[in-house]
Amino acid sequence: MSAPAGSPARVSRVAVLGTGLIGGSIGLALAKHDIEVVGFDASAACLERARELGAVSKTASDVAGAVRDADVVVVAVPVGHIAPLAAEALAAGAPVVTDVGSVKGPVVADVVAAQPGRDACFVGGHPMAGSEQDGVDGADADLFVGATWVLTPTARTDPDAFTTVRSLVGLVGADAIAVEPERHDSLVALVSHVPQLAASTLMDVASRGGDEHRTLMRLAAGGFRDMTRIAAGHPGIWPDILSANRDAVLRALDDYVDALASVRALVAGGGRDDLLDLLERARRARRSLPVGTPPVEELAELRIPVADRPGAIAEVTTLAGRLGINVYDFEIAHSGEGGSGVIVLVVAMAGAEELEHGLAEIGYHVSRGALG
């Protein structure tokens, strides 16, 4: 392949707006590839600390200064502040802008509303990685290695902008997956936002009462420690996230509480077999959580001509996302106006056939080859 993801060919200068834990970690990861990272932060002290730590190689005193000459701009601020800052970066001429917010539907919609002419160059993103640490002092160049990083292209997304952001994700060591913005929000409600509430609530219930609490904490073994680990994280980000994703969070929370009510009935009624069924089902699901990357001989390359088909990037990549198929590499060959060209995807051989069929169903003609 001529330009594998992870190649720095298209990315030599990155602007990071917001140099906290996530922005700082991105900066540190990019620094390993000799990419120039220009930082901007509303807090001069935070920005200076990021420079000291090597998370940014240059600092800028405003958004326009940071954006100037950057190949891609990463907005790494709390959810409520993303859209205005992304719009400002686009207005200042940034060729490609992405973000790292935990909620995507409202953010993408707000960017479209604020910059309807240039929103095609905005690609929403969300790295599924975090830390109990707080601020740039907790930044880690390896924070994203092996993590899943959601991108949310839409039918309006410019293919080159997507490719650039996809490369950036590869550079920091993460695996990109494409999902529609609203669907992302439903999924993370269930897999991230409700788990955070569930963990913090459990920790809070367990910690009620003085003496009782201390004994209880002595009895807290590995399972309880695992379950409540995310409760140790910095809470400041959560009110914004929960507010922005309120409807999806409430739906997922209701599903969880309903399921707990069913479990309560089984415990109260002595429903042994049904309890065992539930625990066995959960065990199988937990054990099937995906880990790692397959060896190259288990990968397949799909070539998908997309000449003159608008929105092809979003269609193809979000279909892979919907099927849960990891795209290990991504490229657009002979990319041109309106997304014409050939999309080259590298996926696990096990999922290649299913993706081919899915693509054929929505009108794509796919050719397949093996790698390695």
Query: Which residues ranging from 149 to 168 are in contact with a second copy (CB under 8 A)?
Result: 150
Nearer to a second copy, 3 or 230 (CB): 230
Residue type, 188: V
* β-strand partners of 302: 345, 368
Contact present, 14 and 30 (Cβ < 8 Å): yes
Distance of alpha carbon 330 from alpha carbon 306, whole angstroms: 14
Contact present, 302 and 371 (Cβ < 8 Å): no
Q: How many CA atoms lie within 13 A of 2 on its CB side?
A: 8
CB of 191: closest distance to a second copy in angstroms?
Answer: 5
CB of 331: closest distance to a second copy in angstroms?
Answer: 21
> Which two three-digit tokens encode residue 202?
């459990």
CB of 314: closest distance to a second copy in angstroms?
Answer: 15
Radius of gyration of the chain measured on its C-alpha atoms: 22
Nearer to a second copy, 53 or 253 (CB): 253
Nearest to 170 by CA among 125, 133, 105: 125
> Which residues, numbered 110-149, are part of the site for a second copy (CB under 8 A)?
128-130, 147-148
Give the residue, chosen from 155, 275, 348, 349, that forms a contact with a second copy under the rule CB under 8 A: 275
CB of 194: closest distance to a second copy in angstroms?
Answer: 8
Nearest to 124 by CA among 91, 92, 156, 172: 156
Give the residue, chosen from 34, 45, 272, 372, that forms a contact with a second copy under the rule CB under 8 A: 272
Distance of alpha carbon 63 from alpha carbon 61, whole angstroms: 7
CB of 165: closest distance to a second copy in angstroms?
Answer: 18
Nearer to a second copy, 213 or 365 (CB): 213
Residue indicated by tokens 């293919």: 159
Give the residue, chosen from 84, 95, 195, 338, that forms a contact with a second copy under the rule CB under 8 A: 195
10 counts as binding a second copy under rule CB under 8 A? no
267 counts as binding a second copy under rule CB under 8 A? yes
Contact present, 152 and 112 (Cβ < 8 Å): no
CB of 88: closest distance to a second copy in angstroms?
Answer: 25
Candidates 5-13, 65-73, 154-162, 315-323: pick the segment binding a second copy (CB under 8 A): 315-323
Candidates 87-95, 153-161, 288-296, 302-310: pick the segment binding a second copy (CB under 8 A): 288-296
Give the x/- contact pattern for a second copy in 174-193, rule: CB under 8 A.
---x-x---x---xx-xxx-
CB of 337: closest distance to a second copy in angstroms?
Answer: 31
Give the residue, chosen from 7, 43, 133, 200, that forms a contact with a second copy under the rule CB under 8 A: 200
Give the residue, chosen from 2, 34, 117, 285, that forms a contact with a second copy under the rule CB under 8 A: 285
**Binding residues for a second copy, how many (CB under 8 A)?**
95
Question: Phi, psi (5° rounding) for residue 18?
Answer: 105, 100
CB of 366: closest distance to a second copy in angstroms?
Answer: 19
Candidates 16-24, 50-58, 283-291, 298-306: pick the segment binding a second copy (CB under 8 A): 283-291
Distance of alpha carbon 83 from alpha carbon 110, whole angstroms: 6
CB of 231: closest distance to a second copy in angstroms?
Answer: 4
Distance of alpha carbon 92 from alpha carbon 114, whole angstroms: 13
Helix axes 349-361 and 312-322, enclosed angle (nearest 10): 130
> Which residues, numbered 201-260, are part of the site for a second copy (CB under 8 A)?
201-207, 211-236, 238-239, 242-243, 246, 249-250, 252-257, 259-260
The residues, ordered by sequence, that sit 6+ positions from 372 with a Cβ below 8 Å of its Cβ are 295, 296, 297, 299
> 239-259: b or e for each residue (b if 16 or more CB lie within 10 Å)?
ebbbebbeebbeebbeeeeee
